[in-house]
Structure 1
């Protein structure tokens, strides 16, 4: 049976529940995923005075073919995009600036240092998002940046974040879609602090100074990202969830929830509905923690499916900015992008192929038997036929055939680096 024939048969089953599959695919096509560039080069970046990875971040593995130039990285991203259905965004860190051999410290970065990224994004009709890089730098060696006791160090990082917001606004103006600028810092202490409040006061003051300049939200959206702990900040992180949730809500910023930044038994999917009650917009970094914030490639596990459901069933596809954040150097990096992004899209599609309104009605009526039965039955509905058809009409490989293209790319391109 052809892909289209299987699709038409599957549509009949979903139609029984008033799910218009053709319309679902039209809506899914409108949802961009912000794909992180740093999977392609193990968060190395292209600074002339490139420094060792720090800030509690570690990339394990040494799979051949890592991108070592901006051109290689962009080519690898293009390859991954050719295997992923839909039109998406690319998320950059400040360390991916191109300064043509000139040493430019991070507080001096300008839009011109990202002109090649913008021209490339225009060529491929991509939006760009941005992150100031507050790690892997001599002024972050002791694990403190915006909350540092030394005002000179705080001021350096404040200027870097200000510069980053201006760069993001440049992206937004040039590309016609606002860039999300997300601030994450590694600040914290390895052992039990004697004062938790003062560093948080300094962080609040630093953020207030960073956001003092108003930038039109047509061009730039500001987000702040929390974390529970990290290597070197096991006992205390200045930018906790409570800190950033309060700051974001009070100052009309996006609160960004990273799925790896919470307790092992704490899930982001359970936070989304609560956050949406108090905030018009929310941002996600979707990763996969294995016992800790280990940033494994996203798989179609229960939590990813629940994240998709919480976004879709609450009508929040236009309220939640979905970004990815994982880095695995033990497998083919183009494959990592492809697996993770396709799985994020699959989770959304599964949620859109669920009779959410009817299931809500059953819950309100107290009919928990039917609710549970149907939620379980829909796990084996012919979702695969819908996914395959979506890939086919999107001109990307169907099923596992994308892996053949990755293997060919590895043999013809990656092995020669």
Structure 2
């Protein structure tokens, strides 16, 4: 380890210790946190089951940077490269369309065996897996409806797909010894104002009841449900609104997914965490950067990301929150996108842990808002970067921007030859 990194760390650790912050304890805690890195950044949400299907469900990927993965082997190699540049051991979030099989199989017929290569690879890499049914980019979703479809046969197809997905999630959890979060999101909605808002929501509720009817071991699989504000093609009405899923999740003890891009432009998910935590056993986050609503830009160290990290730490919510990423940018190197977004998310958690939380809470409780504001502002320039550099070096990944050279080499030797 570079002597400069160590000396900077020791000096920074001493500064934080003056406020009662045990940096070594912070880093030990940080290392236990797993970020669920989404596989779909690596191939622009194409998957391997229905490669020729156009993206639907309000999803759009822009850019044509070379090197997108076109096979499961390529995608796993790209994920390995990204994880080699990110401190800690984490998880991979798979969609159903990423099945690795030579068998021609429909979504309502998928089984754990179609993902066995992912399980074997995850065991080798020491990673966990999360899962999602893919209720978009399919012939039976082209009119914009799935679990709330008015056609019983089409609705049943998607119910069966979600049931199959839960069993795959449970298999992942059992095999890997890490609980799998299986998250249900559907794009259902109308482009223009509907006459009947209630009936589709009643069908969605009934469909979800059937999907979740079978009890699965929560040590292996946890169910989550995800809302959306609107989508391309469902601008006027989305069946699975935040209010719908918040009610359903609380009533049925499901994880409620908060996606950073699925709310009004002036809403932030950081402000929702404390409220939701009082009424649920767990929360699922999809951390993204909604530059223009749900535009799914690569996560940067912006104010909202920092605030999410702070809220999770200050509210002691890390043990009950599952943190995943959700962005897809085809205008830049896809491996670099993973590295930037995941490292930033971990950095935000570190920054939250390095705040003088007890002193801030004490000042607030005593009405000393001057101290609260002063400490908050001064700590913004405290040397958390020195702690981060040491953490990366300690866990054997590049310090600061050194990782970029590795990505550029990988691009020249691997990605550009595809």
Q: TM-score, normalised by structure 2?
A: 0.99
Assess, with a 3 A threshold, how the Cα gap between structure 1 residues 145 and 48 changes in structure 2: closer, same or farther.
Answer: closer
Deviations 1:315-339 (A, max 9, x none): 1111100000000000000000000
Match of residue 274 from structure 1: 275
Stretch deviating more after TM superposition (268-277 or 102-111): 102-111
Q: Name the SS for the 1:180 alignment partner.
A: strand
Assess, with a 3 A threshold, how the Cα gap between structure 1 residues 48 and 370 changes in structure 2: closer, same or farther.
Answer: closer
Deviations 1:214-240 (A, max 9, x none): 001011000000000000000100000
In the alignment, structure 1 residue 252 sits paired with structure 2 residue 223 = no
Match of residue 67 from structure 2: 65
Q: Name the SS for the 1:61 alignment partner.
A: coil
Q: Name the SS for the 1:7 alignment partner.
A: helix
Assess, with a 3 A threshold, how the Cα gap between structure 1 residues 71 and 49 changes in structure 2: closer, same or farther.
Answer: closer
Match of residue 111 from structure 1: 112
The equivalent position to 1:25 in structure 2, one of 4, 24, 27, is 27
What is the deviation of 1:98? Answer: 1.7
Match of residue 338 from structure 1: 339
Match of residue 130 from structure 1: 131
Match of residue 366 from structure 1: 367
Match of residue 308 from structure 1: 309
Match of residue 387 from structure 1: 388
Q: Name the SS for the 1:223 alignment partner.
A: strand
Deviations 1:373-403 (A, max 9, x none): 1101000001110000000001000010000
What is the deviation of 1:49? Answer: 6.0
Conserved in 2, the CA contact under 8 Å of 1:249 and 1:278? yes
Conserved in 1, the CA contact under 8 Å of 2:313 and 2:349? yes
Match of residue 42 from structure 1: 44
Q: Name the SS for the 2:278 alignment partner.
A: helix
Q: Name the SS for the 2:131 alignment partner.
A: strand
Match of residue 161 from structure 1: 162
In the alignment, structure 1 residue 235 sits paired with structure 2 residue 236 = yes
Assess, with a 3 A threshold, how the Cα gap between structure 1 residues 277 and 37 changes in structure 2: closer, same or farther.
Answer: same
Q: TM-score, normalised by structure 1?
A: 0.99
Match of residue 99 from structure 1: 101
CA distance in 2, matches of 1:144, 1:285: 23
CA RMSD of aligned residues (A): 0.7
Match of residue 14 from structure 1: 16
Conserved in 1, the CA contact under 8 Å of 2:355 and 2:379? yes
Q: Name the SS for the 1:128 alignment partner.
A: strand
CA distance in 2, matches of 1:49, 1:228: 27
CA distance in 2, matches of 1:297, 1:6: 29
Question: Number of paired residues?
Answer: 416
Conserved in 2, the CA contact under 8 Å of 1:49 and 1:103? no
Matches within 5 A, 1:324-335: 324-335=325-336
What is the deviation of 1:246? Answer: 0.4
CA distance in 1, matches of 2:281, 2:199: 30
Conserved in 2, the CA contact under 8 Å of 1:224 and 1:256? yes
Match of residue 177 from structure 1: 178
Deviations 1:121-151 (A, max 9, x none): 0001111000000000000000000001000
CA distance in 1, matches of 2:378, 2:281: 33
Q: Name the SS for the 2:272 alignment partner.
A: helix
In the alignment, structure 1 residue 74 sits paired with structure 2 residue 76 = yes
Gaps of 5+ in 1: none
CA distance in 2, matches of 1:185, 1:48: 18
In the alignment, structure 1 residue 87 sits paired with structure 2 residue 53 = no
CA distance in 2, matches of 1:280, 1:163: 24
CA distance in 2, matches of 1:86, 1:300: 19
Conserved in 1, the CA contact under 8 Å of 2:50 and 2:97? no
Match of residue 396 from structure 1: 397
CA distance in 2, matches of 1:58, 1:159: 26
Gaps of 5+ in 2: none
CA distance in 1, matches of 2:370, 2:27: 30
CA distance in 1, matches of 2:256, 2:193: 26
Q: Name the SS for the 2:66 alignment partner.
A: coil
Conserved in 1, the CA contact under 8 Å of 2:131 and 2:165? yes
What is the deviation of 1:178? Answer: 1.1
